[in-house]
Structure 1
């Protein structure tokens, strides 16, 4: 693993394993347990001995085909998941857009969810109060802010979630595919905001299938295949490597 002088993220020999769902019923499993039969666990290795570091102020993309382990990587860095092997270290406050609407309650209004999600991301009430108008303005939710979010479209959901995350005074921003949701003008607006955050010195780790956006926003790319890191270098080369 290449050493970064001032790392914000350290992923050191990390492995993550999930149990697969199988067709055995609870009754069959219980009978097998009563009879003393050993049930072989059906497991899926999402990440296998993966190591990398992300330097302070660096924008890095994690690339790979579906099921390669990209989103698992971001969830481990965010703390949503814990590794089964190795360690993940981060420095500073993390704001994450890991899934659209994660941390939002469908029965609460947009306004209430801004405060709920802001609190989950580590913001105090006063901090949210001060940034509330800016959050709503960026999201373009406007008159719908006091409506229950279960009535929002996926685009409205994404816009509000993104707006809350980017108004957190964070050191690390994690973004997973959510920029593919919404219309072209708003995606361009999000990309411009992320560029602004990168210029301000924030550290970013992003997962996206939008190769053009990856090359526009990130200087470096890490390619993961079947749970293993197979490339780590300039973003342009990472995209070409993935296509080859």
Structure 2
């Protein structure tokens, strides 16, 4: 199958972090020719991960906390760079992976919508055309001049989802953040995801909520200790994951 047939290709992917406060390797380390072997204080968050995604697939990403799920989404989004292997993304990405990503605390809701939508590639004309719809979806009509830092976590999630769900990008990345919103707003977000899937969008959905995974996803990928433990139809992946979890 040709590369053009895929939305995402992940090949022998690996990324490592430091356990100390420095986090990733420094620029000095890179120019010093740091090897791919783990050094003291480093660990591989993901290692030797390979899979491909065809356009329109909806994939549930499962695994315990700390197994590399969120790291994978950040690599697909281009927020992180791999230490080995590569990620090839064919088409734009709409990432809902960190509720504070791109938002500035001292700017108002109005200013943040314009800034964040612009950072995601919306033109000024598009932002103006979609602005009222974004605010209405987020239910923040009475908070346009409120600084972002004064919003509750639930309000921040509503604003982030409202902006990202308006992006005309073929790949949607969702990482647990909907768990913060109230039940009524979560259902509104779920209906919006249903609409995006009906349009043929590709979905990566990280969640510990099995009901949500079954609602949206047909395929599952299961990470354990930073490696891809299983890639199969979602029901089979959940059976394996639940069995592994019960056994420990």
Scaled by the length of structure 2, the TM-score of the pair is 0.88
Contact kept, 8 Å, 1:3 with 1:53, in 2: the verdict is no
**Quick one: distance in 2 between partners of 1:15 and 1:161?**
29
Distance 1:3 1:221, change over 3 A: farther
1:43 match: 42
SS of 1:198's equivalent in the other structure is: helix
Query: Unaligned regions of 5+ residues in structure 1, if any?
Result: 23-39
Deviations 1:154-200 (CA, angstroms, capped at 9, x unpaired): 00000000000000111111111111111111111111110110010
Contact kept, 8 Å, 2:15 with 2:83, in 1: the verdict is yes
**Quick one: distance in 2 between partners of 1:77 and 1:14?**
11
Displacement, 1:53?
1.0
1:36 match: none
1:164 match: 163
Deviations 1:89-129 (CA, angstroms, capped at 9, x unpaired): 00111110111121100000011111111112111111111
Distance 1:3 1:187, change over 3 A: farther
The Cα RMSD (Å) is 1.7
2:11 match: 12
Contact kept, 8 Å, 1:4 with 1:54, in 2: the verdict is no
Displacement, 1:237?
1.6
**Quick one: distance in 1 between partners of 2:240 and 2:121?**
37
Contact kept, 8 Å, 1:220 with 1:232, in 2: the verdict is yes
SS of 1:57's equivalent in the other structure is: coil
1:218 match: 217
| 1:227-242 correspondence runs (5 A) | 227-242=226-241
Contact kept, 8 Å, 1:4 with 1:53, in 2: the verdict is no
2:83 match: 84
- Aligned pairs, number: 227
Displacement, 1:240?
1.6
SS of 2:129's equivalent in the other structure is: helix
Contact kept, 8 Å, 1:139 with 1:163, in 2: the verdict is yes
SS of 1:237's equivalent in the other structure is: helix
Deviations 1:40-93 (CA, angstroms, capped at 9, x unpaired): 631111001001111101111111100000000000000000100001000111
**Quick one: distance in 1 between partners of 2:122 and 2:203?**
19
Displacement, 1:4?
8.5
Deviations 1:115-152 (CA, angstroms, capped at 9, x unpaired): 11111211111111110011011111110122101100
Contact kept, 8 Å, 1:63 with 1:208, in 2: the verdict is yes
Contact kept, 8 Å, 2:157 with 2:181, in 1: the verdict is yes
Scaled by the length of structure 1, the TM-score of the pair is 0.90
Query: Unaligned regions of 5+ residues in structure 2, if any?
Result: 22-38, 244-248
